[in-house]
Structure 1
Amino acid sequence: MTGPRVTIKIPAELRLFLPADRRTEVLGLTTDGSSSLGHVVESLGIPLTEVGALAVDGRDVPTGHVPAAGEVVEVRTVCRPQAVPGAPLRFLLDVHLGTLARRLRLLGVDAAYESEDIGDPALAALSAEERRVLLSRDRGLLRRRELWAGGYVYSDRPEEQLHDVLGRFEPVLAPWTRCVACNGPLRDADKESVRDRLADGTSRTYDVFAECTGCGGVYWRGAHHTRLSAVVEQALRDHGEGRPPAAG
């Protein structure tokens, strides 16, 4: 390639996306002279969902800027908490993030989840159709043009994933209000209305129940409640109730 040569500065947080032999703070790069700066950054492996701003010679530029010879490009990370256009804040998680989806739902966060691999084009289209922030560890998926909004999940550990997502997007938390199985809202239910869906031991032992308005699942404070309460309490300590919903 014999196009303009530019200098690109990459912050430490984004260098994991670079090829192993190019993970340095400053890169010299020869461009084709016609591709946008957004395309150049993505060609390095960095999804634009993880880029907060681009600056050239100290001034902010749009992703459509075409780099010229000698320019110094600074790639900046997203601001935290990250503002997402529109309301309410909702998420879509890919097939590999089932545990994270269930924990977000436990906290009352609207988190749609595809338990089967429907393919990258369909996931990105669903994100756009339902205006959901797509969460994924698939860099290629987050580079799809039809995507409405997205975020890379940096850790492969559910505890760290949850902490990262809550800190980055600050969703409003409303624990125990959403079905962890299907994402539907929960409502209080009296024992008689759900008795036919309970095992005999559960019916004899518990009196307080909730019911999913979507799938009809029944919830009570059973053997797993202590473990789940620990997840909820930790999230509330670290992140409070999150930001209030945006107006409009």
Structure 2
Amino acid sequence: MRALGTVSPILVVGPSWVGDMVMAGSLIESLRIREPGRPIDVIAPPSALPIARLIRGVRRTIPLGLGHGEFGLVARWKAGRALRDECYGKAIILPRAFKAAIVPFAAGIPERIGYAAEGRSILLTEARQDRDRKTARTIDRFVALGAPQGDQLRAPRPVLHLPDGALEAANSRFPLAGEGPVMALCPGAEYGPAKRWPAARFARLAAMAHAAGYRVRVMGGPKDAPIGEEIAALAGVPVDMLAGRTSLLEAAAILGGADVVISNDSGLMHVAGA
């Protein structure tokens, strides 16, 4: 029998991108305040779930193991059917893609809220208009989906909660020699060189920071390793090159323990800010 009303769990269909998952934390916090006592689960691609696990109020994370851009109708339908016994009362679908609404529909969740896009309104019980998409902050658009339509809400600041000992564990695996403040550089960017500060500029900054007594760490994912190596080579000073070497949890812990973070527009920028 399906749970009803204010006691039924909520399923959040989360975004694929790390930065967007950080911003989804504001929605989850607003739900936690607005609807206390309702468990909140997040389903999303595995790459973003380490961030979801750091958001207060998330009971469970559910991996949706499909490649980025993969439609996967059968896999999504099966994933939704597998969730029918969870008795979710509400689903909030953050991505605008048609495919993102398939799982909640297949799960038979009675209240399915998302923005009208790609002709998917037939899969939603409440298809919201997204007229301000190009001007509104993503974080505000996410939070709005968790409130009655038309409510003017202030989005709470996203906050990530690291597990106890996370920074110590990261520093134990990647020890940093010497003493002094730490500057973390995040030279990667979601959309390539067009939104990326040049490696030579990061290298010059690393040299200046080293002269000022900072220990410099370069952070990023595997695709950021080449520019990280370039920065380390150009800097001419000791640089701890960690791009491509850490897990997402370790990166979050190291950024949280840094005194200064310099970042391009990337997922790690949002992680550092939270």
Report the TM-score when normalising by structure 1.
0.24
Considering only CA atoms, is the larger Rg found in Structure 1 or Structure 2?
Answer: 1
Q: Which has the higher contact order (CA 8 A, sep 6+)?
A: 2
The alignment's TM-score, normalised by the length of structure 2, stands at 0.23
Higher strand share: 1
Could you say which structure has the higher helix fraction? 2
